[in-house]
Amino acid sequence: MDQYPPHDSTPIFQRIKDYLLGEIAAGHWKEGDLVPSEQALVRQFGVSRMTVNRAVRELTAEQVLVRRQGSGTFVAPQKYQATLVEIRNIADEVRARGHVHASRPRLLERGQAGEALARQFELAAGAPLFHSVIVHEENGQPIQVEDRWVNPACAPAYLEQDFTRITPNEHLTAAAPLQGATYSIEALPAPREVAEMLGIGIGVPCLVLKRRTTSNGRVASVVTMWHPGQLYKFTGSVG
């Protein structure tokens, strides 16, 4: 807890999450290791069981921890993930291959944050959000379904853009300069709506990239991008 100043406004449950994540990142707890019990964390942080439970519950939902009935809470097995260092505009990637990029907006709307989205955006449930669903094509073939939620405070003109001419990435880069990002990648079967947009069979494996970006101290965007597994791979380098 020494990293927080005496009057830091960070919620206590978030401090507990940061502590647990820090211990895992530092290698003090490895995959499969038992982490301290909720009662031990209550004593360590001097908070209520409810506060500790929220921190552990959220890390379990984020697949950082796993609970085993009667045994305790353990560091979860980590999924394989690609190293993604850059956030690149898909239109630029397609053009760099000498191909033609096109995008087809399927949905542009004003919405409200449900409980899950509210947690991701660190907003109250019911807060206004912008929502877009766009299909990106390469030489006329669908290669990505981009399902994005945007914080209006970061990009107030988002819904006014012509997304057949500019990508959401291009607009957000200008409107909400990137401060940070978190990623996850997993293989999932295509649900009906995604399969139809990608022109593939229902249940065909897809590579799914989920990304949350921050700008000026706010969560700016939460996006899920579906890619046909047989067409796509993620690559990257460090150093």
Tokens of 100: 């033609």
From the list 235, 220, 216, the residue with the least C-alpha distance to 121 is: 220
Please tell me the pTM assigned to this model.
Answer: 0.63
Fold of 12-75: Arc Repressor Mutant, subunit A (1.10.10)
The C-alpha atoms of residue 220 and residue 210 are separated, in whole angstroms, by 14
> Could you count the other beta carbons within 10 Å of the beta carbon of residue 130?
21
Q: Measured between alpha carbons, how far is residue 13 from residues 10, 28, 52, 63 in Å?
A: 8, 20, 6, 17
Residue 62 has pLDDT above 90, yes or no: no
Cβ atoms 155, 130 nearer than 8 A: yes
> Mean pLDDT of all residues in the chain?
86
Per-residue pLDDT band for 236 (boundaries 50, 70, 90) equals low
The C-alpha atoms of residue 194 and residue 172 are separated, in whole angstroms, by 24
Q: Where in the chain is the domain with CATH 3.40.1410.10?
A: 90-228
Helix (H/G/I), strand (E/B), else coil: 96? helix
Residue 13 has pLDDT above 70, yes or no: yes
**90-114 mean pLDDT:** 90
Residue 5 has pLDDT above 50, yes or no: no
Q: Where in the chain is the domain with CATH 1.10.10.10?
A: 12-75
The C-alpha atoms of residue 55 and residue 43 are separated, in whole angstroms, by 15
Residues counted in the chain: 239
Helices first, then strands: H and E counts in the chain: 7, 8
Give domain 90-228's CATH architecture. 3-Layer(aba) Sandwich (3.40)
pLDDT of residue 63: 78
Per-residue pLDDT band for 21 (boundaries 50, 70, 90) equals confident
Per residue in 123-163, pLDDT tens?
Answer: 999 999 999 999 999 889 899 999 999 999 999 999 999 99
List the 218-228 sheet strands across, edge first. 101-112, 128-138, 141-150, 218-228, 205-215, 180-189
Cβ atoms 229, 206 nearer than 8 A: yes
Residue type, 205: P
Per-residue pLDDT band for 83 (boundaries 50, 70, 90) equals very low
Per residue in 154-198, pLDDT tens?
Answer: 999 999 999 999 999 999 999 998 888 888 888 899 999 999 999
Strand-pairing partners, residue 72, are 68
Cβ atoms 21, 39 nearer than 8 A: no
**62-78 mean pLDDT:** 85
